[in-house]
Amino acid sequence: MIDQADKLRRLMKKSKNEKSTEKNKSEKRAKVLAITSGKGGVGKTNFALNFSISLQKLGYEVIIFDADVGLANVEILSGVNLKSSISDIILLNKDINEVIAKGPEGIKMVSGGSGLKELALLNEENMLKMLKEIKKLQSTADFIIIDTGAGISSVVLDFVMASDEVIIVTTPDPTSIMDSYTLIKSLSSYGFKEKLNIITNMVDDKSEGKEVFNKLNNATFNFLRIQLNYLGYIERTNIINNAVRNQIPFIVSNPNSIVSKKLNNMTINYTSNRVIKEDNENKSFAEKLLHIFSRRGER
């Protein structure tokens, strides 16, 4: 009987062969950005959703992928009912275009559903189909925003490891800072080498936002020799609380508010400092996920 690792290695070879036949074609390659956190309740999904909309308003094509397995937080916060999920590609033989839904301000939304945990257990035919459909996402957008679950589960770490870059959302709560450190330590042990960006959320002011970042950055540098990148802060405000209750992203409901303007400036700064590079043997997001699952099969 062929083991799981061998099956996945053969799929990777098939994917590579197919790719080599198309290497002369010009293909858009979205930047895949994982937004994650060490613990729940820090506003990760709310940031991911509003950040995605801000990118879209700047003229980028954006897809937000809800990879928080078994939950539907992006769906709830956006007020959009995602009737299909990535699992339906296998279960109902849908293609990715049938799974994508239109979200606020024109962003595209994809639900991971509850089937992502079983991705590595699919048979060869279904795994290859899933791979091809996920690849389509990266060729139709400028950014794919992955809203992961919180914590350091294997599913969370797999999605972050397959991404080009990561944003970690933390708060002044000491447990949030400590859990963010634990997440960074786990990523480091997995060999993550890309930029680690930090957002400090639910702070009282600019000073507290920078103080929270400094605490986390000092710990990661002193013990892990990792330097973090500070993207900015988001203050506590009833505008955000009301937007969550009303299921309308605050950048849509209050576009001229201070918090929306700060987020837009943060987005502009982020995109203006983008470094485009070819890495990881030019593998796509889907191929990197497949590679991670094949390594898991060997463990």
- Span 146-178, pLDDT tens digits: 999 899 988 789 889 889 999 999 999 999 999
Would the pTM of this model clear 0.95, i.e. be above it? no
Query: Across all residues in the chain, what is the average pLDDT?
Result: 84
Give residue 203's identity as a one-letter amino acid code: V
The tokens for 71 are 């939950």
Whether 296 has a pLDDT exceeding 80, the answer reads: no
Asked whether 43 and 171 are in contact (CB, 8 A), the reply is yes
Asked whether 85 and 113 are in contact (CB, 8 A), the reply is yes
Give the model's confidence band at 68: pLDDT under 50 very low, under 70 low, under 90 confident, else very high: confident
Share of the chain above pLDDT 90, in %: 56
Phi, psi of 167 (to 5 degrees): -120, 125
pLDDT value for 291: 65
Asked whether 44 and 168 are in contact (CB, 8 A), the reply is no
Q: Which of 66-80, 183-197, 283-297 has the highest mean pLDDT?
A: 183-197
DSSP 8-state class, residue 30? P
pLDDT value for 81: 86
The tokens for 215 are 């605490």
Give the model's confidence band at 274: pLDDT under 50 very low, under 70 low, under 90 confident, else very high: low
**E strands in the chain:** 31-37, 62-67, 101-102, 108-111, 143-150, 165-170, 196-203, 229-235
Over residues 188-212, mean pLDDT: 96
For residue 213, list its beta bridge partners.
Answer: none
- Span 226-273, pLDDT tens digits: 999 999 999 999 999 999 999 999 999 999 999 999 999 999 999 987
Whether 8 has a pLDDT exceeding 50, the answer reads: yes
pLDDT value for 27: 62
Contacts of 21 by beta carbon, 8 Å cutoff, 6+ apart: none
Q: How far apart are CA 29 and CA 247, in angstroms?
A: 31
pLDDT value for 263: 97
Give the model's confidence band at 290: pLDDT under 50 very low, under 70 low, under 90 confident, else very high: low
Ordered structural domains, the chain, with CATH: 29-273 (3.40.50.300)
- Span 46-59, pLDDT tens digits: 999 999 999 999 99
Q: How far apart are CA 219 and CA 226, in angstroms?
A: 9
For residue 235, list its beta bridge partners.
Answer: 203
Pick 111 or 123 by higher pLDDT. Answer: 111
CA dihedral 226, 232, 235, 239 (to 10 degrees): -130
Q: Which of 100-109, 124-133, 274-283 has the highest mean pLDDT?
A: 100-109
207-243: buried (b, 16+ CB within 10 Å) or exposed (e) per residue? ebbbebbebbbebbeeeeebebebbbbbbbeebbeeb
Q: How far apart are CA 183 and CA 157, in angstroms?
A: 9
Whether 95 has a pLDDT exceeding 80, the answer reads: yes
CA dihedral 40, 115, 66, 168 (to 10 degrees): 40
Phi-psi region of 258 (alpha: psi -120 to 50; beta: other; left: phi over 0): alpha
